[in-house]
Amino acid sequence: MDILDKIVNDKLKEVGYRKKVISVSHLEVSPLFERNTLSLKKNLEKSKSGIIAEHKRRSPSKSVINQDLNVQDVAIGYENARVCGMSVLTDTKYFGGSLDDLLIARASCDLPLLRKEFIIDPYQILEAKAYGADVILLIAAILTTDEIKLFSQVAKSLGLEVLLEVHNEKELQRSLISSIDMLGVNNRNLKTFEVNLTTSKQLSALIPDDFTKISESGISSVEAIKELQPFGYKGFLIGENFMKTENPGLHAAEFINDLEG
């Protein structure tokens, strides 16, 4: 069993438990459930840099990245750096995140927030809305085409945007659904955790122009982004590169200045 299978098995148990503790009707009366969401897609389309900056404490591939920073400081720093949006890891077991991180980020900034999570149940989409997210992530590798269609439609009905993540051509071809807003190509092989930007380059021509293209994983330099922009990528998800520093917001600001300079 590879790491993705383990994560999904654990997530099924976790979501089953959460559904017993907090009902759907409880989520629907959350103060944030009725808020008007912000558009990450629009921000990316008009941006020169296209940076989506991530809050990420640890990962299965890198173990601890940074446990010392608080979400509020990171969110404020990212907003001051003029990023297009913020990605917040909410998985606890493997990434050290939580839904409270999303709540704190929402209270700390006016950026579009992406709930970065392994979504395997519509309940998690309602959670995302209730805790202040603007965008959800769907991972093609763990979902059927029917699930991608259903989950993206549920998200749209709540006013949330949808970022679909693919790793190869097979996942891409079965996932081109009209209720998807952004298509993310993950440069990380989920079996080996190796990273190769060639994945983004090879898949770019197969992504219709209706979808905003985002490149994810292994982007640690301005040169890498300049290499990918001619392939039509408007968004670049960067986590570890900022989070491994003492001041992610400052690092993001310097990175964006270098990119736009």
The token pair at 24 is 């759907």
Per DSSP, 141 falls in state G
**Residue 6 falls in the annotated catalytic set:** no
CA angle 225, 148, 101 (to 5 degrees): 60
Task: Single out the catalytic residue among 79, 165, 171, 240.
Answer: 165
**Residue 165 falls in the annotated catalytic set:** yes
Cβ-based neighbours of 6, under 8 Å, separated by 6 or more = none
135 contacts 163 by C-beta, under 8 angstroms: yes
Kindly report each contact of residues 18-27 with a partner whose C-beta sits within 8 Å and lies 24 or more positions away, as own/partner.
Answer: 18/123, 18/127, 19/121, 19/123, 24/123, 24/126, 27/126, 27/127, 27/129, 27/130
Q: What is the dihedral of CA 67, 184, 241, 37, to 10 degrees?
A: -60
Task: Single out the catalytic residue among 41, 56, 129, 234.
Answer: 56
**Residue 56 falls in the annotated catalytic set:** yes
**Residue 169 falls in the annotated catalytic set:** no
Task: Single out the catalytic residue among 41, 116, 129, 234.
Answer: 116
Closest listed residue to residue 183, CA positions, set 195, 197, 200, 170 = 200
216 contacts 187 by C-beta, under 8 angstroms: yes
**Residue 240 falls in the annotated catalytic set:** no
Task: Single out the catalytic residue among 216, 234, 240, 241.
Answer: 216
Task: Single out the catalytic residue among 200, 215, 217, 241.
Answer: 217
Per DSSP, 140 falls in state G
Task: Single out the catalytic residue among 43, 49, 54, 215.
Answer: 54
Catalytic residue list: 54, 56, 116, 165, 186, 216-217
